[in-house]
Amino acid sequence: MAGAGGGGGGGCPAGGNDFQWCFSQVKGAADEDVAEADIISTVEFNGSGDLLATGDKGGRVVVFQREQENKSRPHSKGEYNVYSTFQSHEPEFDYLKSLEIEEKINKIRWLPQQNAAHFLLSTNDKTIKLWKISERDKRAEGYNLKDEDGRLRDPFRITALRVPVLKPMDLMVEASPRRIFANAHTYHINSISVNSDHETYLSADDLRINLWHLEITDRSFNIVDIKPANMEELTEVITAAEFHPHQCNVLVYSSSKGTIRLCDMRSSALCDRHSKFFEEPEDPSSRSFFSEIISSISDVKFSHSGRYMMTRDYLSVKVWDLNMESRPVETHQVHEYLRSKLCSLYENDCIFDKFECCWNGPDSAIMTGSYNNFFRMFDRNSRRDVTLEASRENSKPRASLKPRKVCAGGKRKKDEISVDSLDFNKKILHTAWHPTDNIIAVAATNNLYIFQDKVN
């Protein structure tokens, strides 16, 4: 079952219903000269979809909050405005290895909300931090031992006992680091995933996966270790890892060889022996010098139901049924027209780009990025797909997104774009889909685009 590589019609997939995606907002500067620190490196909605977090290469986390419905502005529902901005990570230096540790945020994961505050995990290459984001709209006044300006009072001048009172103040959103999980990874962290038990989470680097308790920072348990005794025998690395959304003992990790291993933590403390092994047999006729590079999996995501998982390699998105290891149940071509360009993509290093993928709420549609600021959507029910573009040129409020088509060769039609004119510096690596509504967030270099359906 394969999704076509073309462009779909005017309606866009979102799980069976045809409707128009339209522009909602764009965040970030419109400058042509983009500072490296401003490039967005991760995007993540929280469990309710009311908060949207982005991390960038400068180590900053920006949290946007969804506006509630406003009668004077009926279309403002669904708009996201800045809620909190904080510096999550700073550049560091590893003196033992004489290596600089970048401040770039590799991943953000929200914890399920337990009270009025929100918690998120953010990680760079080496250190994971747990942040608390909370609101304050009252302050205490009338202390006995200090004046209103904070200076200590002379105890001998205190003649009466005062009861402090809480007074209203302007709303303040505070971000404070609650835990720092460090010194557990020799290699660069590529994934973090919160367990469904809400108490533990995993972190994965190139060769190991560690299990942490959210309350304990000074130790973690190594649950997967694929490091060979002799590093010259190294043939593959871990590229992504994720916990099952409902079964707290199940996790998957993908490899640079295009395979996925499912592990059950009940079977043994060290999950080096997988429970299931997902691999698609290679077609010998299509083998080339680039086969191994383009088969490397850059992202793996369980469906919300937990029945399926999706993997993204360089040219395609595959959907796997957890009960069938031999081959994927769906293969969707993302940009098959690039197969003839692999040589030049290898020379400019684009072939090593790591594209992410995401599910919509009901698991009926999937989304992933491409080049030229294009992103692709695939409807799993109707087998239709569409190519859309994140562009400021089409950024009028509620403006419908026009499906784009790429011409791979031969005679180019009027509304098609030639594969030779694609801009490979404009790439959409990070996307996120609202957990319940048809609202999507797409990171294009330093800009965050938010699109929604016409009826939202």
Cα–Cα distance between 124 and 120 in angstroms, integer? 14
CATH numbers and ranges of domains, the chain: 21-132+181-453 (2.130.10.10)
The token pair that represents 335 in the structure block: 């940009």
pLDDT of residue 5: 38
pLDDT of residue 70: 66
Classify 286 as helix, strand or coil.
Answer: helix
pLDDT of residue 15: 47
Are residues 235 and 257 in contact, defined by beta-carbon separation less than 8 angstroms?
yes
pTM: predicted TM-score of the whole model, two decimal places: 0.89
Q: Which distant-in-sequence residues (6+ apart) come within 8 Å of 283 by Cβ?
A: none
**Helix (H) or strand (E) run with residue 346 in it:** helix 342-347
pLDDT of residue 4: 37
Are residues 52 and 432 in contact, defined by beta-carbon separation less than 8 angstroms?
yes
pLDDT of residue 360: 95
How far apart, in Å, do the first and last CA atoms of the chain sit?
A: 32
Cα–Cα distance between 248 and 377 in angstroms, integer? 30
Q: What is the dihedral of CA 241, 243, 245, 249, to 10 degrees?
A: 150
CB count within 10 Å of CB 289 equals: 9
Residue 131 identity (one-letter amino acid)? W
Per-residue pLDDT of the chain (456 residues; tens, 9 = 90+): 343 333 333 445 554 446 689 999 999 888 778 899 999 999 999 999 999 999 999 999 999 999 887 656 655 567 999 999 999 999 998 888 888 999 999 999 999 999 999 999 999 999 999 999 998 888 888 888 887 777 888 888 888 888 888 888 888 899 999 999 999 999 999 999 999 999 999 999 999 999 999 999 999 999 999 999 999 999 999 999 999 999 999 999 999 999 999 999 999 888 888 899 999 988 887 788 899 999 999 999 999 999 999 999 999 999 999 999 999 999 999 999 999 999 999 999 999 999 999 999 999 999 999 999 999 999 999 999 999 999 988 778 888 899 999 987 767 777 888 898 999 999 999 999 999 999 999 999 999 999 998 765
Q: Radius of gyration over alpha carbons of the chain, in Å?
A: 24
For the chain, the residue count is 456
